[in-house]
């Protein structure tokens, strides 16, 4: 079929911004014009592409069309960026990244390309970032999933080591007699969100069922670390972050039931190649080589 670039841009804008009104501001069109383009595209495809919820969500038929729209947008933006008449154009790369990587090594790694590429970070747990590749929400992802998403390439970046850390006052109060199952069942623990399995899996490995110990939920990397520092509970902190302040590595306590844990990270990106995506990938590889653990 013949694809209309303006209609595809309307689809991507509505999906990205959640409403016709927000998409119209992005495209400098009226909401009615955006709606007409979207309806024309749906007539051409012969299927409803977006659920008219707030925010809108793609249908099963809409996901592959949305992926196409975003890939074409990436190609056209890169082409425009090299034209003399569009010298001020900056291509956009949408990148899914887990919160801990974003808070530690990814931002400094990508500083070298920030002047040439506009980067939109989409924060998501490393176990779920690949889902965003499947529906076309992002062009690349730092993920724990080594099996490539259809239409993507994958390569190893290394591993982030996490250590079970507690403040000295917290450790003295709750683990004075050692870091055993009984103490872990009573001591509060800090978790990031409902997707965070780092702490729950360490407890289960120690023979403590999740829900036995009280927990605090702090869904932001910096504040998560601060909660551990202030003694809300113990938590698994990235090795890069755990050295920032003088805490206690509970895995190093003699006889401890807790252990360090390495999370392997992978770079997945669209098989489609653009200059901007290649530049971001190269910067991520260099940052990972300098910051992550390697066998």
Q: How far apart (Å, rounded) are the C-alpha atoms in residues 154 and 210?
A: 33
Quick one: which H or E segment has residue 181?
Answer: helix 181-186
- Token pair for residue 24? 């119209």
Q: Mean pLDDT throughout 79-106?
A: 78
Does residue 84 surpass a pLDDT of 60?
Answer: no
Looking at the domain that runs over 160-262, which CATH code has it been given?
Answer: 3.40.190.10
- The residue-averaged pLDDT of 108-114 equals 95
User: Does residue 293 carry a pLDDT above 90?
Assistant: yes
At residue 83 the predicted structure's pLDDT band, cuts being 50, 70 and 90, is low
User: Can you count the helices (H) and strands (E) in the chain?
Assistant: 13, 11
Average pLDDT rounded to a whole number, residues 48-77: 88
Q: In terms of pLDDT, which residue wins out, 169 or 273?
A: 169
* DSSP, res 102: I
Predicted local distance difference test score (pLDDT) of residue 221: 85
pLDDT of residue 127: 67
Using 50, 70 and 90 to split pLDDT, how confident is the model at 135?
A: confident
pLDDT for 111 equals 96
CA–CA distances in Å: residue 292 to residues 5, 100, 110, 130, 243: 40, 12, 15, 20, 15
Percent of the chain with pLDDT over 70: 95
pTM given for the model: 0.75
pLDDT at res. 192? 92
Question: Domain locations in the chain?
Answer: 160-262
Check pLDDT > 80 for residue 68: yes
């Amino acid at each position: 079929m013949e694809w209309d670039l303006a209609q595809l841009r309307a689809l991507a804008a509505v999906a990205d911004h959640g409403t016709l009104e927000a998409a119209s501001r992005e495209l400098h069109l009226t909401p009615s014009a955006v709606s007409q383009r979207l309806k024309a595209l749906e007539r051409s495809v012969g299927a409803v592409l977006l659920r008219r919820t707030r925010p809108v969500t793609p249908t099963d038929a809409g996901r592959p069309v949305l992926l196409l729209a975003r890939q074409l947008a990436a190609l056209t933006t890169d082409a425009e960026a090299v034209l003399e008449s569009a010298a001020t154009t900056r291509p956009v790369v949408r990148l899914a990244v887990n919160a801990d990587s974003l808070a530690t090594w990814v931002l400094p790694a990508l500083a070298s390309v920030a002047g040439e590429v506009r980067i939109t970070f989409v924060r998501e747990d490393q176990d779920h970032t690949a889902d965003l590749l499947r529906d076309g929400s992002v062009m690349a992802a730092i993920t724990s999933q080594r099996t490539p998403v259809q239409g993507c390439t994958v390569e190893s970046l290394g591993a982030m080591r996490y250590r079970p850390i507690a403040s000295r006052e917290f450790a003295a109060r709750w683990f004075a007699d050692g870091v055993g199952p009984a103490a872990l069942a009573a001591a509060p623990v800090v978790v990031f969100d409902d997707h965070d399995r780092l702490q729950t899996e360490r407890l289960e490995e120690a023979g403590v069922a999740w829900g036995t110990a009280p927990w605090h939920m702090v869904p932001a990397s910096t504040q998560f670390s601060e909660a551990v520092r202030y003694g809300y509970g113990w938590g698994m902190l990235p090795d890069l972050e755990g050295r920032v302040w003088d805490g206690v590595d509970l895995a190093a306590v003699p006889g401890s039931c807790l252990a360090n844990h390495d999370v392997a990270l992978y770079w997945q990106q669209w098989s489609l190649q653009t200059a901007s995506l290649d530049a971001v990938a190269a910067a991520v590889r260099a940052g990972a080589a300098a910051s992550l653990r390697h066998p």
